[in-house]
Amino acid sequence: MQFSPTNGDFTFVSSTEAEAELSGTISAPDIKLNMGNEGCKDPYATTFLRQRGYGWLLEVEEDDGEESKPLLEELDIDLKDIYYKIRCVLMPMPSLGYNRQVVRDNPDFWGPLAVVLLFSMISIYGQFRVVSWIITIWIFGSLTIFLLARVLGGEVSFGQVLGVIGYSLLPLIVIAPVLLVIGGFEVVSTLIKLFGVFWAAYSAASLLVGDEFKTKKPLLIYPIFLLYIYFLSLYTGV
């Protein structure tokens, strides 16, 4: 028989009952030690930087695992496409079976730029000192042809005109070594110059002057012809 006297707010229990109620297990708390960040950085320095707004210094870019692309692909340079366009310009005859419209419909920047720079280097060899004019005339001459084509009702973009005018400098590059060889023969040299200008102008005009111009074709062909005459004068220095 257990005796459990009470006295006011206190309750007295026997030792046996106390042992029964106090039996059990005590689980250990999940304690994590703050040993700093993964990079073994000082937590106080980390807190200081974040409070001052310099937390971005602690950020580490995650590697997405993607392989780096080749340089030509990064710059969007397709050498096969450029080579095909070069052949389309140098051989503008429809009977050869080339899809010449790809030069206009799929314009690029690096191919025409390479052609213009090559023409500039040839002009340096020809003792022409103001090479910067070649790039300037290429850009502003193409802009003039573009504005004229739009006024006449042509559906072309400035990028298309810039590409066609740039690629069509290739005939002038082809005749440049010939002019160096036969420079002493004025009659033959003049014929070669006219042939090169007609070749370049025909390549450009056949791509830019479409059926939408109808009877207004001479209004666009003539300035294209004059543009390549000026390009040739930049090379010869005349």
pLDDT at residue 227, rounded to an integer: 93
pLDDT 10s digits, 170-195: 999 999 888 888 867 788 888 999 99
Residues facing 6 on adjacent strands: 11
- pLDDT at position 41 is 47
- Does 170 fall in a domain? yes
Beta bridge partners of 11: 6
Rounded average pLDDT over 11-36: 49
Q: Is residue 209 part of a domain?
A: yes
- Cβ(111)–Cβ(85) below 8 Å: yes
Is 11 a domain residue? no
pLDDT of residue 225: 92
Range(s) of the domain holding residue 138: 76-236
The CA distance from 201 to 228, in Å, is 7
Residue 170: what pLDDT? 92
Please tell me what DSSP assigns to residue 106. Answer: S
Determine, yes or no, domain membership for 96.
Answer: yes
Task: Return all residues near 100 (Cβ < 8 A) that are at least 6 apart.
Answer: 88, 92, 94, 206, 207
Inform me whether the pLDDT recorded for 17 exceeds 70: no
39 in any annotated domain: no
Report the pLDDT value the prediction gives residue 25, as an integer from 0 to 100.
54
Considering all CA atoms of the chain, what is the largest pairwise distance in Å, rounded to the nearest integer? 142
In total, how many domains does the chain have? 1
Q: What is the pLDDT of residues 195-224, one digit of tens each?
A: 999 999 998 988 888 777 667 788 888 999
Q: Hey, which of 66-80, 111-125, 149-163, 189-203 has the most confident mean pLDDT?
A: 189-203
From the number of C-beta atoms within 10 Å of its C-beta (0-12, 13-18, 19+), residue 153 rates as: exposed
pTM score:
0.66
Check residue 56 and give its pLDDT: 59
Is 56 a member of any domain? no
Distance of CA 40 to the CA centre of its chain: 41
Beta strands in the chain (DSSP E): 6-7, 10-11
How far is it, in rounded angstroms, from Cα 112 to Cα 157?
A: 15
